[in-house]
Structure 1
Amino acid sequence: MDKQYQTPEIDSTRIAVPERISIALDEIAADLREGLLALAVGAGMQVLTAMMDADVTAMCGPRGQHDPDRAAVRHGHERGSVPLGGRRVPVTRPRMRAADGSGELPVASYEAVNDTEVLGRMALERMLAGLSTRRYTAGLEPVGAQVTDAATAVSKSAVSRKFVAATETALADLLSADLSTLDLVAFMVDGVHFAEHCCVVALGIGIDGTKYPLALVEGSTENATLVTELIVSLRERGLDVTRPVLAVVDGSKALHRAIKDVFDHPVIQRCQLHKVRNVVDKLPEKLKSVVQRRMRDAYHAEGALAAQAQLEALAAELDRTHSGAAASVREGLDETLTVLRLEVSPTLARTLRSTNAIESMISICREHARNVKRWRDGKMALRWCAAGMVEAGKQFRRVNGHLHLPALRVALERHVATETAGVVRHDGRVTAA
């Protein structure tokens, strides 16, 4: 039964810390044989008991001495529990009631350590690391046989409930984060499949080179409606969609259309790696390595005009024997050369010429969910994916060449201004509108 205290929030400054605490060594001597951690836990439990007694004494006065000015009176003891190393361990906690009879008062030290969020975070970390609910206890620290035997909240169902609560929090935090202060330069969007569920995820790169997991939405396929919903949600959370942004996508027409519909001035960069794979998939084995090398050489040319000339020459050669591959080379060719047309520095271009950055985040999401055998519904896929994105965000480093991002911003603004003033031809030249 939950108790309604007079003070709903505990101020840690109210905790009474005794100057000296006596520890009964004979009670914890047996713990020494189980390791130093078990010994420290045994001593710590005695310290917690002493601190709770000190809190009660500070509020109620010394035991056996009447104090007319006391704020509370002792009200016996009851069973309680505190989190310890991913489990809950039982303690006997004192109780006290307000002297004026208005209700029960909290014991500050007990409330301070009784933070259930710790258990949720530990369950989240262990399950994302690949530990199943059945083997959860195998990942806990050895705190002594006596404590382990009395511990609770380590069953499969209890761990599962903690994990669900923690991932729901991660999902809610991710989808509600304020984006009004984010100065976005580059934007990536892609899909990840969990069984029959498809999660479309978005990654942003700020002007300082920091990568941000932005949002996700669940559906069955990467359709335009789904992607538009995701990008619109970013706008509603304060993301500035009026400034020019480099949108790096694969060949999906749905992604392309949604980005064009929501962003005011998107500049599309088609993933060069996807384009190479699409072309070589239409070729026999003996030609794949040759064509792959020629396309990669073209994408690393000194400029967009040189790269376009090399790719068009390759397409002309393929026309004779493999027209499907030739058509694939030409399809969206100008959008695969955007980073060259913007004269992005080679170091920064390595990040922006492909969707590797967002695919790296997706691979982390898949890795964390590798132990899931049955996906119950789309909400479960969203929770796992959100938890993986948050975990990936902790591992992110700033993109290589991030010092060139301000120059990219200037190039994007110049490109958009040029498009506004004229019509950009496929060779990069401009004619009057």
Structure 2
Amino acid sequence: MTTNLSVVQKKNKRKKLKPIRIKEVASNEFTLPDGSRIDTEHELLSFLLPENVKAFYRELSLSVEALCGSRYEHSEHRLYRWGKQAGSIVLGNQRVAVERPRVRDAETGKEVRIPFYEKMQNPDSYDRAAFQSALKKCSQRDYKNGVPELAASFGMSKSSVSRSWVRTTGKKLEEFMSRDFSSVDLVAVLLDGKRFQDVGCLIAMGIDSSGKKHILGAYQCNTEHSESCKSLLEDLERRGLPARDLLFVVDGGSGLNKALRDKYDVHRETRRAVVVRCHVHKWENVKASLKPEEQHEAKSLYWAVRDARDLTQAMACSEQLKAYLKRVNGSALTSYIEAEQELLNLHRLKLSGSLKKFFSSTNPIESLNSLLEEDMRRVKRWQDSTHFRRWIATMALKNEKRMRKVRGCLGMLALKVQIQNLCKPEKLDESTV
């Protein structure tokens, strides 16, 4: 017996596009997906390449006529034409040499700027084009092959594009490191170190009460040095990070641990923050001390601590793990005990299953790191610290837009309340007052 089977393919959901509204057309106001306004007059002249130079001179002539009146016409205008001069504008993502008219004021004798010419001379459009091409993996040497060349064009050399990239990424660095988070209701901060070639970097990712992720900063420092890590925390606090009632998920660097201990008093009853150690990093440390035949049993017991349903069960699993490690390897036991309480803090927070999995490691930053590494792999050598910081800031801002909310984000407000309960200041004993 034969049967006819049909395969139903799942349709991919198309991203909903923002429609162009009638009132926008009437007012000649259009916006890019990021919300920035499009200068339609400039964009039209820049991309209609066959006629754009003619259109530029036509509009320039009208602009001069508006200032001085018609040519050879007697008028009462204070402004008058004063010859021509070589200049340049930006058309079609490249600079073009042009001849521009000059205008003077009859009373002051000073030259007057022509608004239309200044708008077309604005280098921001050129910088933006070079910047977008670089983000699309177009090399600076090959940029000129990616745009249609015009007669008398210049400014597309490797050096010109490189200078444009430096200007644009410099602005991105300033924007990235000066963002104010005081208006963001931050609940948790994930901190993880990463090396890009020979440069160490500590990346901070914040999670707010709605579950949205924010890249708080990327700092060129080593997680083994407590002073640099403490400076990082102080900079975040200056930019709006709350001074208490926070959850920190860390990779376990000794310097970072000391900085958190000194600043937030995390291991005492008067603690101002809760620290959870990354379970993945700690397992790798424990595993490194074990023989291959010992790792299977230890792995089962170790992850049973994280997957326990509550703190009581987690502590029981932890005791079993310590008993096993004590029997097979004392170094592995010492490594585990060093982070035991910070691993158990995951259960003290009383998280849902989704949030428990999310906050049990710094994997969300590892995902970001892989994107940053892919974007920055073409740089073979960092010239200096500023060079590295410009790149890391630019790529962090680019990839931040791709990040989704935390799965289980509806439980973030409950997490915030539980953190506040764990960070309550120690009550004074009235008998000692």
Range into which the TM-score falls when normalised by the shorter chain: 0.7 to 0.9
CA 1:352–1:115: 2 relative to 1, 3 Å: farther
Other structure's SS at 2:401 match: helix
Aligned length in residues:
378
Of 99, 111, 130, 1:104 maps to 111
Conserved in 2, the CA contact under 8 Å of 1:197 and 1:220? no
Name the CA shift for 1:252/1:221 in 2 (closer, same or farther; >3 Å).
Answer: closer
Runs of 5+ unmatched residues, structure 1: 1-36, 423-433
Provide the C-alpha distance between the structure 2 equivalents of 1:287 and 1:230, rounded to a whole number of angstroms. Answer: 39
- Residue 232 in structure 1 maps to residue 234 in structure 2: yes
Give the SS at the match of 1:203.
Answer: strand
Deviation at 1:368, TM superposition (A): 1.6
SS of 1:320's partner is: helix
Residue 182 of structure 2 corresponds to residue 180 of structure 1? yes
Displacement of 1:267 in angstroms is 0.6
Structure 1 residues 300, 82: closer, same or farther in 2, change over 3 A? farther
CA positional deviation for 1:85: 4.3
| 1:408 Cα offset (Å) | 0.8
Once the 2 structures are TM-superposed, how far is the Cα of residue 265 of structure 1 from its aligned partner?
1.2
- How does 1:71-82 map onto structure 2 within 5 Å? 71-82=78-89
| Aligned equivalents of 2:283, 2:254: Cα separation in 1 | 17
Matched, 1:50 2:43: no
Question: Which residue identity does 1:60 align to in structure 2?
Answer: C
Paired residue secondary structure (1:326): helix
**1: CA distance, partners of 2:262 / 2:131:** 37
Return the alpha-carbon distance in structure 1 between the equivalents of residues 129 and 294 of structure 2: 52
Distance apart, 1:307 and its partner CA: 1.9
Q: Distance in 2 between matches of 1:88 and 1:400?
A: 47
Q: Distance in 2 between matches of 1:102 and 1:208?
A: 61
Where 1:179 maps in the other structure, the secondary structure is coil
What is the alpha-carbon distance in structure 1 between the residues aligned to residue 358 and residue 122 of structure 2? Answer: 41
Following superposition, the deviation at residue 130 of structure 1 comes to 3.4
Greater shift after overlay, 386-395 or 287-296?
A: 287-296
Asked if structure 1 preserves the Cα contact closer than 8 Å seen for 2:84 and 2:100, the reply is yes
Q: Unmatched 5+ residue regions in structure 2?
A: 1-44, 265-270, 429-433
SS of the residue 2:423 aligns to:
helix
Q: Aligned partners of 1:340, 1:416: CA distance in 2, in Å?
A: 15
Equivalent AA in structure 2 for residue 73 of structure 1: Y
**1:207 aligned partner, one-letter code:** S
Q: Deviations over 1:293-352 (max 9, x none)?
A: 442333122112212211321221232222222332332112112232111122222322
Equivalent residue for 1:420? 426
Q: Structure 2 length normalisation: TM-score? A: 0.80
Please tell me whether residue 66 in structure 1 is matched to residue 74 in structure 2: yes
Alignment check: 8 A CA contact 2:127 2:165 kept: yes
Q: Give the corresponding residue for 1:247.
A: 248
Pairing 1:137-286 to 2, within 5 Å after superposition: 137-138=144-145, 140-141=146-147, 143=148, 145=149, 147=150, 150-219=152-221, 222-241=224-243, 243-263=244-264, 265-286=272-293
TM-score under structure 1 length normalisation = 0.80
Deviation of 1:221 after TM superposition, in Å, equals: 5.9
Corresponding position of 1:409: 416
Q: Corresponding residue for 1:399?
A: 406
Shifted more, 354-363 versus 79-88: the winner is 79-88
* Aligned twin of 2:140: 133
Distance in 2, Cα, partners of 1:289 & 1:47? 74
* CA distance in structure 1 between the partners assigned to 2:330 and 2:351 by the alignment: 32
Q: Which residue of 1 aligns with 2:376?
A: 369
Q: Following the alignment from structure 1 to structure 2, what is the Cα–Cα distance between the partners of residues 247 and 39?
A: 49
| Alignment CA distance shift 1:416-1:165 (3 Å) | same
Give, in whole Å, the separation in 1 of the partners of 2:300 and 2:53: 66
Say if 2:155 and 2:161, in contact at 8 Å, map to a contact too: yes
Secondary structure of the 2:289 match is coil
Query: What per-residue deviation string (whole Å, max 9, x for no partner) do you get for residues 4-52 of structure 1?
Result: xxxxxxxxxxxxxxxxxxxxxxxxxxxxxxxxx9992122332222211
Matched, 1:359 2:394: no
Higher mean C-alpha displacement, 363-372 vs 149-158? 149-158
CA drift at 1:277: 1.7
Offset, 1:157: 1.4
Relative to structure 1, is the Cα distance of residues 351 and 176 closer, same or farther in structure 2, using a 3 angstrom cutoff? same
**Cα distance 1:129–1:331, how it changes in 2: closer, same or farther (>3 A)?**
farther
Structure 1 counterpart of 2:35: none
Tell me which moved more, 117-126 or 343-352: 117-126
Whole-angstrom distance in 1 between the partners of 2:168 and 2:343? 40
Given that residues 223 and 253 in structure 2 are in contact (C-alpha distance below 8 angstroms), is that contact kept between their aligned partners in structure 1?
A: no
- Deviation of 1:122 after TM superposition, in Å, equals 3.1
292-301 or 341-350: bigger deviation: 292-301
CA distance in 2, matches of 1:297, 1:411: 23
Does the residue aligned with 1:309 lie in a helix, a strand or coil? Answer: helix
How far the C-alpha of 1:223 sits from its partner, in A, is: 0.9
Amino acid at match of 2:230: T
- For residue 421 of structure 1, report the CA deviation from its aligned partner: 4.2
Cα offset, 1:136, TM superposition: 2.5
- Judged with a 3 Å threshold, the aligned counterparts in structure 2 of structure 1 residues 114 and 326 are, in CA distance, closer, same or farther, namely same
